[in-house]
Amino acid sequence: MAKYIEIDKKRFVKLLAPDTIAAAVRSMANNITRDFSHKSPVMLVVLNGSFIFAADLLRQLDFPLDISFIKIKSYAGTTQQNLVWELEPDMNLQNRTVIIIEDIVDTGNTLMAIHEKVIQMGALSCDVATLFFKPDTYRGRLQILYFGLQIAPAFVIGYGLDVNGKGRNLPALYQLEK
């Protein structure tokens, strides 16, 4: 697999191999099974970026659960006021155990907005499972109990994550070269 990839005149270098990502997803599936297998949770998949992670993770969970898709648009470098809901949860979340399935948590702004909405909708609890986590830039109040891999605060693409709509199909994770 290519060590470097160029998209829109930007150069990206391979950061994490597919095997490393797969092992992290397996480990998250084990932890989520341990903690939620008797709680019939609702998995809220955050589109678009989480679609590949969600497909890999959810097929490793063999207990009863519901899946719903949400979409929220965030504008880089802005605060929660600049988040726009494009697709809201289409299920009744009253008294449900909810897990937000995220591709990546950076500042946590998006996550906090989703969390607030879920609690407003009457959920019993709301946790997050994010594959990639940037702890150095995270400013959210919610503790991230389920994450796959911590990464440095650089822009990454691949495994669902895009740059201007491209790169989501890459099986590895690539980081923008400085």
Q: Is residue 16 at the binding interface for ligand 5GP, with CB under 6 A as the rule?
A: no
Q: Is 22 helix (H, G, I), strand (E, B) or coil?
A: helix
Please tell me the distance from the alpha carbon of residue 58 to that of residue 61, in angstroms, as a whole number: 5
Among 5, 61, 157, 172, binds ligand 5GP (CB under 6 A): 157
- Which residues on adjacent β-strands are paired with residue 71? 47, 87
**Complex with ligand 5GP: residue 63 or 75, whichever CB lies closer:** 75
Is residue 170 a contact point for ligand 5GP (CB under 6 A)?
A: no
Beta bridge partners of 152: none
Rounded distance between C-alpha atoms, residue 80 and residue 84, angstroms? 9
For residues 23-52, which are near ligand 5GP according to CB under 6 A?
49
* Alpha carbon distance 48, 38 (integer Å): 28
The residue count for the chain: 178
Least separation, in Å, of the C-beta of 62 and ligand 5GP? 27
| Tokens representing residue 105 in the block | 């948590």
Question: Does 106 participate in binding ligand 5GP (rule CB under 6 A)?
Answer: yes
Which one of 35-43, 61-69, 87-95, 104-112 is the stretch in contact with ligand 5GP (CB under 6 A)?
104-112
Read off φ and ψ for residue 64, nearest 5 degrees: -65, 130
Q: Does 130 bind ligand 5GP (CB under 6 A)?
A: no
68: enclosing H helix or E strand: strand 66-73
CA distances, 16 to each of 19, 56, 146, 172 (Å): 8, 16, 19, 6
Is residue 106 part of the annotated active site? The answer reads yes
Nearer to ligand 5GP, 25 or 105 (CB): 105
State which residue, 61 or 101, has the beta carbon closest to ligand 5GP: 101
Given 19, 62, 90, 106, the catalytic residue: 106
Nearer to ligand 5GP, 97 or 107 (CB): 107
Which residues are known catalytic residues?
Answer: 106
State the residues that interact with ligand 5GP by CB under 6 A: 49, 74, 102-111, 155-157, 161-162
